[in-house]
Homo-oligomer: A and B are copies of this chain.
């Protein structure tokens, strides 16, 4: 039998897999061995042909003689590290854009509809027909995506029918002839920021992106424009954002500099800020999409 060993433990309930999630793999002929802690997984290391896990340390690879693949749902390598010897590939989930694009569209409509203010009206049971009148049709507005990669492309596809224009910015623009979305390099930001009605940040973490959206860049944004962070929190800090909240229409943050965001962070009490707990990819469908991808990559057990 080909053995798949799993260590799918996570703080987020939607990210914890169980026997019903593994059923499609079992149906392909794989033997599923579930583990709930590191010790148990490592004790069975010599039997594992594949591992499904959130975490995999660099030091573990040498203990897994038969290991052919590490499958992890995460898009990045923060938790499942790559094999220093290069022997075992790590297969990352590639469906995050499919999930996140719905959260991004939802957030843009939410801010465009002045929902932070509408929520306060609702809490006060106020029938206020003035607030909504500040909304402009999304179909006449533009979206600038900073950190335009795989996820950005999926977001752009979903946003395009609803907005006037989507523009991408990335460190190394690979503008192809057939691309429908114009893509610029970082140097283009100085001219693009003053034009965008909505700025969507999808930058990865790491020291390269620390305070990427700094005071200078935030100041260049159009008066009343909205900013969204669905990448990593280090790229847009509270220190830089807070003084600009009068200039901006508002901010929707799915990620923050430290997570969980401290209860005493002033971000929680701003009138035009809304915060979600790094949850843009948290859907009931997450587990199914992961297993579908593993099935597609593995095929039938030999």
Question: Which residue in chain B gives the minimum CB-CB distance to A111?
Answer: B106
Which segment of A11-19, A25-33, A231-239 sits at the interface?
A: A11-19
Which segment of A192-200, A214-222, A273-281 sits at the interface?
A: A273-281
CB-based contact A102/B162 at 8 Å: yes
A207 at the interface (CB under 8 A from B): no
Q: Which of B12, B103, B138, B158 contacts A102 (CB 8 A)?
A: B138
CB-based contact B129/A274 at 8 Å: no
A109 at the interface (CB under 8 A from B): yes
CB-based contact A277/B129 at 8 Å: yes
Could you mark each residue 232-274 of chain A with 1 if its beta carbon is under 8 Å from any beta carbon of chain B, else 0?
0000000000000000000000000001110100001000001
A99 at the interface (CB under 8 A from B): yes
Which A residues, 95 to 122, have Cβ-Cβ distances below 8 Å to chain B? Answer: 98-99, 102-103, 105-106, 109-110, 112-113, 115, 118-119, 121-122
Say how far A151's CB is from chain B's closest CB, in angstroms: 15
Q: Which of B15, B138, B139, B274 contacts A122 (CB 8 A)?
A: B274
With most chain B CB atoms within 10 A of its CB, the pick from A102, A137, A158 is A137
**A261, B118: Cα distance in complex, Å:** 15
* A162 / chain B contacts, CB cutoff of 8 Å: 102, 105, 158
**A105, B268: Cα distance in complex, Å:** 26
**A99, B136: Cα distance in complex, Å:** 9
Given contacts A13-B133, A284-B133, contact A277 B128 (CB under 8 A): yes
CB-based contact B127/A261 at 8 Å: yes
CB-based contact B133/A283 at 8 Å: yes
Given contacts A102-B138, A125-B268, A137-B99, contact A12 B130 (CB under 8 A): yes
Say how far A192's CB is from chain B's closest CB, in angstroms: 24
CB-based contact B102/A132 at 8 Å: no
A40 at the interface (CB under 8 A from B): no
Say how far A138's CB is from chain B's closest CB, in angstroms: 5
A140 at the interface (CB under 8 A from B): yes
* A158 / chain B contacts, CB cutoff of 8 Å: 161-162
CB-based contact B282/A135 at 8 Å: yes
CB-based contact A122/B275 at 8 Å: yes
A285 at the interface (CB under 8 A from B): yes
**A236, B217: Cα distance in complex, Å:** 48
CB-based contact B130/A276 at 8 Å: no
CB-based contact B102/A133 at 8 Å: no
Q: Which of B11, B115, B137, B261 contacts A283 (CB 8 A)?
A: B137
CB-based contact A12/B136 at 8 Å: no
Q: List 19 A-B contacts (CB under 8 A).
A: A12-B129, A14-B132, A98-B139, A99-B137, A105-B162, A109-B109, A110-B110, A122-B276, A123-B123, A125-B261, A125-B268, A127-B261, A127-B277, A128-B277, A132-B276, A132-B283, A135-B283, A136-B284, A158-B162
The 4 closest A-B pairs by CB, nearest first: A14-B133, A127-B260, A106-B109, A132-B279
